[in-house]
Structure formats: structure tokens, C-alpha cells
Amino acid sequence: MKVYSYLRVSGKGQIVGNGFDRQLETIQADCAKADYEIERIFREQVSGTKDETDRPEFKAMISAIMRDSVDTVIVESLDRLAREYRIQEQLLIYLASKGINLISANTGENVTQAITEDPMKKAMVQMQGIFAELDKSLTVKKLRKAREKIRQQTGKCEGRKSYRETEEGTKILREIRRLRRKRKGRVRRKFNEIAEALNNQGYRAANGKLFTGNTVRGIFHRSKKLR
């Protein structure tokens, strides 16, 4: 089974003192016994009193878990997860609410499983999961309203830019308009003449091919509708 390992030290002194190396040795020994394969290692230098919001590597690990199929994290011991019991419990409930197993290498215990077997803590896990889902729903609703507002103001929000919205497309449209403009004492250029002029200048259509009269006509008339 593939797992992630999470290593934490409080400061540079612990790094110099082989804090990361010692933790990893313990974790690797437990993985060898339990037939775990370490897929990725996250090294955090942060105080053990900080929660998940102040742990960049912890947050990166959670994001990776959400993307990958790995759902188990191994730490050397619970005090490497967090020094204070209050923060330990907070982080454990956070992990459990996302369906992530946490294993303590020095005991081999699946701490998440132990938490969910406690009725009170299980209820806390479920409550956190509910609040996390509520927060996600509120965020989605907020973003949807923001996108709708932008769409009403500009006519478009997300998605890849159309060719006419690109710098190259804007430049070509400007040149088409310039070439199409009626010249004093002369008839207006035909679309196939404009296409030839664009091709001679090195411009190419969105598909990379040479311009034709029909292509130029379509671009010109669409741009007039959008004005």
C-alpha cells in the first residue's frame, strides 16, 4: 500500500540534529514491517502548536491526497504531528473528516481508526465533515454568483479565450478593418483582396492556414455584431 510520510521539526536546531532523518528511519522501519511503500515525503519546519492553516507542507499534503489515490499518512509519533494535545486532536479530526488514515510509526497504530471508535470523537469528525461540506457549498455558491456577475457585465466569464480575444486575433481584426475602410476616390477592397494582403503580411487564420475571402468576411461581420 502506498502512503505519504509527514515529518515535522520546530526549528533549524532540530534539522541539524537529524530530526528529519531520525523520524524517517522510524517511519521506514514500520513501513518495512507493514509492507507500506512511501510515495512521497513532506517535511515541515513549524511549531507544534500551529494548526493546519499555518502549515504549508501539511496543506500541500492534503491537496496531494485529494488528487491522488493515497489515503494514508504515517508520522513517527503523535508529538511529531503536533506537540499540544489540543492541536493533535484538531488535526486528527480534520484528517478523519476527509477519510484520511493517520498511522503512528512508533506504535503501528491506526490513530484515525481509534478516533472513529470513540462515539464522542466520531461525532466531532462527522460534524467537521458537515461544516467542511457546508463551507464548500457556500464557496461554490459565492463563486457562481461572482461568475454570473462577470458574465452579465462582459458577456463571458470562464473558458479559453476565443481567437478574436487573443493579441494576434485583435491585431488581425484591426488590420481587416483598416484594409476594408473605404479609400478616397477608390472602391472598397473586396474580402478576397484583404485575405491576399493579410497572407502577404504573414498573418494566418486561427487554424494556421492562409486566409480566404470567406474567412475574412466571417471575421468582419461577426465583429460588427459584437460592437
Query: Could you give the CA distance from residue 173 to residue 159 in angstroms, rounded to a whole number?
Result: 21
Predicted local confidence at residue 40, as pLDDT:
93
Q: Are 81 and 8 in contact (CB under 8 A)?
A: yes
Residues 6+ apart with CB under 8 A from 180: 188, 189, 194, 220
Q: If you search the block for the grid coordinates 484515525, which residue do you land on? A: 112
Global pTM value: 0.53
Predicted local confidence at residue 129, as pLDDT:
47
Predicted local confidence at residue 154, as pLDDT:
65
Q: pLDDT (tens digit, 0 to 9) for every residue of the chain, 227 residues total?
A: 999 999 998 876 555 555 888 899 999 999 999 999 999 999 998 887 787 778 999 999 998 988 888 899 999 988 888 888 788 888 888 888 888 999 999 888 888 888 777 776 666 555 654 555 566 677 778 777 877 777 777 665 555 555 566 778 888 888 888 888 876 667 788 899 999 999 888 888 877 789 999 989 888 887 766 55
Predicted local confidence at residue 73, as pLDDT:
95
Residues 6+ apart with CB under 8 A from 70: 2, 3, 4, 39, 40, 64
Query: Could you give the CA distance from residue 96 to residue 162 in angstroms, rounded to a whole number?
Result: 44
Parallel, antiparallel or unpaired: strands 101-104 and 72-75:
parallel
